[in-house]
Chain A
Amino acid sequence: MAQVIVVTSGKGGVGKTTSSAAFATGLAQSGKKTVVIDFDVGLRNLDLIMGVERRVVFDIVNVISGEARLSQALIRDKRVDTLSILPASQTRDKDALTKEGVATVIEELSKDFDYILCDSPAGIEKGALLALYFADQAIVVTNPEVSSVRDSDRILGVLQSKSKRAEEKKDPVKEHLLVTRYDPNRVEKGEMLKLDDIQDILRIPLLGVIPESESVLKASNTGNPVILDEPSPAGQAYKDAVARFLGEDRKMRFTDYEKKGFFSRLFGGRAA
């Protein structure tokens, strides 16, 4: 039976799609059959971040409306062969998704995949609710910033009351905190919320901390999930998070401010 994981946040623009792409790729790299679904109907972007935008033929709405079969809409990744992508529709709106339709898609995917990742749209409206409804686990993406932390708290409430697991009074959705765009330098200066503070407020287990990193933009420019940029701090941080998700014990990295020595400033001068 596949595990359904939603990547959610409430707030927009915090790194859900970046994290979904990285996580799906990381899980697939570890040999797990993984599919990542874009739930942002009308504002599809996962295809670009995954670099498959030129290969999209059908999307989840076509599948739900019976215009295409699931196998025809799935795009096989060319880099990691255990990875597939199910794109969102760009031309329809969120009403084109129905709970029954999504249920059928997820049920069918469960037969072939170990992990089904759902990249949620922002907000707490229909699209976001559908993305989290079937979840067994949730990765709550949070930036070290007041409004993001508050919205994460809100989405945790939604997970605990409006998910299928909640409605059916089953074991609750397993929650993971993923702090992204963390800048130890600004934390040190007191300009940014500390990791401890965020954990104190949200009180869910920490899965990882992804540093603010130039490599994320480079990755989206070229359509390669940042986890494939192995030397980059963000790539390594995502690799750690995936390993922790799979049960490995790994120390948090990239959380402390390191004063740059003369030589690293001269030669390793890239911020990330």
Chain B
Amino acid sequence: MNWLHFFRNKQEEAPATAPQAKERLQIVLAHERISRKGEDFLPKLQREIVELVARHVSIDPERVNVSLERGGDLSTLAIAVELPGPEPARRVS
């Protein structure tokens, strides 16, 4: 360890966190500004998807899982609908 390293140590220990704060804010605010204008579309979207799926197979609305990951350029909305499995095979006694 040389002298320079020794004195720089303090800074390396604590990397600046402000840039992270800025990036997080930019992303979350970009999304909020959009949703401020319109109505909250997610509940409606979910309802319509559930209705659509339910038209074809019977599903339990409890088993619908919606997850979202907001990103800067790209957000992913994942809707997992648990479909009923095939009838359990009957055991032949």
Is chain B a partner of chain A in the same complex?
Answer: yes
A residues apposed to B, CB below 8 Å: 48, 53-58, 62, 67-69, 71-72, 90-91, 217-218, 220-223, 267, 269-270
Is B54 an interface position by the 8 A CB rule? Answer: no
Q: How far is the CA of A48 from the CA of B28 in the complex (A)?
A: 9
Q: Which B residues touch A67, using CB under 8 A? A: 43, 47
Q: How far is the CA of A91 from the CA of B67 in the complex (A)?
A: 19
What is the total of A-B residue contacts with beta carbons within 8 Å? Answer: 60
Tell me whether A222 and B14 are in contact (CB under 8 A).
no
Q: How far is the CA of A67 from the CA of B32 in the complex (A)?
A: 19
Contact partner of B18 (CB less than 8 A), chosen from A68, A221, A223, is A221
Q: How far is the CA of A91 from the CA of B69 in the complex (A)?
A: 19
Q: How far is the CA of A223 from the CA of B25 in the complex (A)?
A: 11
Tell me whether B28 and A54 are in contact (CB under 8 A).
yes
What secondary structure prevails in chain A residues at the interface with B?
helix
Q: How far is the CA of A58 from the CA of B20 in the complex (A)?
A: 25
Q: How far is the CA of A98 from the CA of B33 in the complex (A)?
A: 26
Tell me whether B71 and A54 are in contact (CB under 8 A).
yes
Tell me whether A57 and B17 are in contact (CB under 8 A).
no
Tell me whether A58 and B61 are in contact (CB under 8 A).
no
Tell me whether A69 and B61 are in contact (CB under 8 A).
yes
- A97 CB to closest chain B CB (Å) equals 16
